[in-house]
Chain A
Amino acid sequence: MAQLIVEDLALGYESQAIIEGLNFTVNKGDYLCIVGENGSGKTTLMKTLLNLRSPISGKITTGDDIKRNEIGYLPQQTVVQKDFPASVREIVMSGFQGQCGMRPFYNKKEKKIAEENMERMGIADLAKRCYRDLSGGQQQRVLLARALCATRKILLLDEPVSGLDPKVTTEMYNLISELNSEGITIIMISHDIAAAVRYSSHILHIGDKVFFGTRDEYVASDIGKVFLMQQGGEN
């Protein structure tokens, strides 16, 4: 079933389009990687998918009983968060906020799910620790647990491994794959083309040329070959 359908989307700033004519579909259980050079509009696309900004033209529809606010989101870290005095539990719980509506406090069921998600991310023993005292990898796990509180179906990840060391990066990718194999749809923005090709099921390449297809199609395509070579040369 299609969870997210993007039709003829144009994105950009003040009617100056960066991307035009974008079409793609995300089905349940897909692992989509969005790759492309810096400035190609990856983050803009992500923000549009999350409803944080509106597209110049085109349409994004959600299917399969997903509401627009049921998309979990793992953002890049902001400056504000670096010295924020908050415990891991407080942050994970805040993932439920969107479902609370006007209800002021969290209920028992939500508390229980939060515990489960912390368990799942292997951070249950850190629940009372302060977020800013954690390592980069641990912080990402906290934010991932929060995103899981907001959704059970689809996760958008914005450069989830940036700034992490190689070992933690691998752990993070494995964790994401695990979630994917449990049936959660993953959409990930990545610089890391090698990892994208390794872990994902579909690839969306944006830039001067747009490509959307399965991983195997991408590796076989001209645009994919060129991009893989460039990146391979850099690393």
Chain B
Amino acid sequence: MDILISYLSYSFVRYALIVGVLISLCSALLGVTLVLKRFSFIGDGLSHVAFGAMAIAAVLNLSNNMIVVLPVTVLSAILLLRTGQNAKIKGDAAIAMISVGALAFGYLIMNIFSTSSNLTGDVCSTLFGSMSILTLTPNEVLICAILSVIVIIVFILFYNKIFAVTFDENFAKATGTRADLYNLLIAVIIAVIIVLAMNLVGSLLISALVIFPALSAMRIFRNFKQVTIFSAVLSVVSSLAGMLISILTGTPVGSTIVAVDVVVFGVCWLIGLIKGGN
């Protein structure tokens, strides 16, 4: 406990905790919708796109890589979610294609043009987010906080519309809801969350942050509001626990958080079994 308190006196630890809580909250909110829309892997795909964009930003020597990463990821998200139903290449295949392609090109570009002496280390930290969360600047924390608050407000304001579009897109469209617009909104929000979350867990583990809390909550609760609220709570608690464990034991932040998420899912699954009675 004393060790924990002494760690908390460091500003970078406090920043990490703040950013961690905000990101896990946002990702859990949208996670429910994505899982139900059968887009669980979009986190994975988009994070690889973001990885590719980061590689380009690194090669171009941009000081603030957000300028490249955010628009590219948002654009990919829109393409993926919008072409979902009618495209010649179906949703899951399109995601897999973009995901692997961006990953390969990102690594290729980094290899060819790299100026860094520790290439493997760079790649590893972008993929697994090993250290970046502990090296946040106050500015980055501020940007993250503002974007998170926007995401949360938009989600609350459009909650009923997101529900309608997720549950039955055709019905929503037929009765005059602008379903395409809200799909677009969901795509933009998820892209923003993924770019933010790359700091926390790195691009490989983002899917975990998006899908585990939603799946865990769905084991226990049976209406949309409860599932959404509970998955947000679960996500924040697991991320906090994961970060504290990793600070105390020196394990990598990202994978510790995901490990906690997996354990929580196991517990929820058991509770669901007992509660369901079958």
Of the stretches B60-68, B98-106, B219-227, the one at the interface is B219-227
By the criterion of a CB under 8 Å from any partner CB, how many residues of chain B are at the interface?
29
Contact partner, A95, options B156, B158, B175, Cβ 8 Å: B175
Q: Are B176 and A50 in contact (CB under 8 A)?
A: no
Q: Which residues from B are CB-within-8-Å of A80?
A: 36-38, 166-167
Q: Are B168 and A90 in contact (CB under 8 A)?
A: no
Task: Tell me if B251 is interfacial: C-beta within 8 Å of chain A.
Answer: no
> Which residues of B in the span 28-79 have a Cβ within 8 Å of any Cβ on A?
36-38
Tell me the complex Cα distance, A104–B223, Å. Answer: 19
Task: Tell me if B172 is interfacial: C-beta within 8 Å of chain A.
Answer: yes
Q: Are B160 and A100 in contact (CB under 8 A)?
A: yes
Q: Which residues from A are CB-within-8-Å of B218?
A: 85
Per-residue interface assignment for chain B, residues 199 to 243, with 1 indicating a CB less than 8 Å from any chain A CB and 0 otherwise: 000000000000000000010011111010000000000000000
B239 CB → nearest A CB, Å: 22
Q: Which residues from B are CB-within-8-Å of A151?
A: 175
Closest to A128 in B: B223
Of the stretches A71-79, A161-169, A192-200, the one at the interface is A71-79
> Which residues of A in the span 11-67 have a Cβ within 8 Å of any Cβ on B?
47, 50-52, 67
Contact partner, A72, options B175, B224, B225, Cβ 8 Å: B175
Q: Are A75 and B175 in contact (CB under 8 A)?
A: no
> Which residues of A in the span 158-217 have a Cβ within 8 Å of any Cβ on B?
none
Contact partner, B167, options A86, A99, A104, Cβ 8 Å: A86
Interface size class, chain A: 35 or more
Q: Are A130 and B170 in contact (CB under 8 A)?
A: no
Task: Tell me if B173 is interfacial: C-beta within 8 Å of chain A.
Answer: yes
Q: Are A94 and B160 in contact (CB under 8 A)?
A: yes
Q: Which residues from B are CB-within-8-Å of A99?
A: 176
Q: Are A85 and B170 in contact (CB under 8 A)?
A: no
Given A80-B38, A90-B224, A97-B161: A50 and B174 within 8 A (CB)? yes
Task: Tell me if A133 is interfacial: C-beta within 8 Å of chain B.
Answer: yes
Tell me the complex Cα distance, A106–B223, Å. Answer: 17
Tell me the complex Cα distance, A142–B97, Å. Answer: 39
Given A86-B223, A87-B222: A98 and B167 within 8 A (CB)? no
> Which residues of A in the span 107-165 have a Cβ within 8 Å of any Cβ on B?
128-130, 132-133, 146-147, 150-151, 156
Q: Which residues from B are CB-within-8-Å of A147?
A: 171
Task: Tell me if B12 is interfacial: C-beta within 8 Å of chain A.
Answer: no
Q: Which residues from A are CB-within-8-Å of B172?
A: 94, 97-98
Given A104-B160, A106-B160: A84 and B175 within 8 A (CB)? no
Task: Tell me if B159 is interfacial: C-beta within 8 Å of chain A.
Answer: yes
Q: Are A75 and B168 in contact (CB under 8 A)?
A: yes
Contact partner, B174, options A51, A84, A129, Cβ 8 Å: A51
Per-residue interface assignment for chain B, residues 165 to 204, with 1 indicating a CB less than 8 Å from any chain A CB and 0 otherwise: 0111011111111000000000000000000000000000
Q: Are B167 and A81 in contact (CB under 8 A)?
A: yes
Tell me the complex Cα distance, A20–B256, Å. Answer: 62
Q: Which residues from A are CB-within-8-Å of B269?
A: none
Task: Tell me if B157 is interfacial: C-beta within 8 Å of chain A.
Answer: yes
Q: Which residues from A are CB-within-8-Å of B107?
A: none
Q: Which residues from A are CB-within-8-Å of B222?
A: 85, 87, 129-130, 132-133
Closest to A133 in B: B222
List residues of B whose CB falls within 8 A of some A CB.
36-38, 156-161, 163-164, 166-168, 170-177, 218, 221-225, 227
- Besides the contacts A52-B173, A104-B161, A150-B175, what 6 more A-B pairs have beta carbons closer than 8 Å? A51-B174, A75-B168, A79-B38, A80-B166, A100-B161, A146-B171
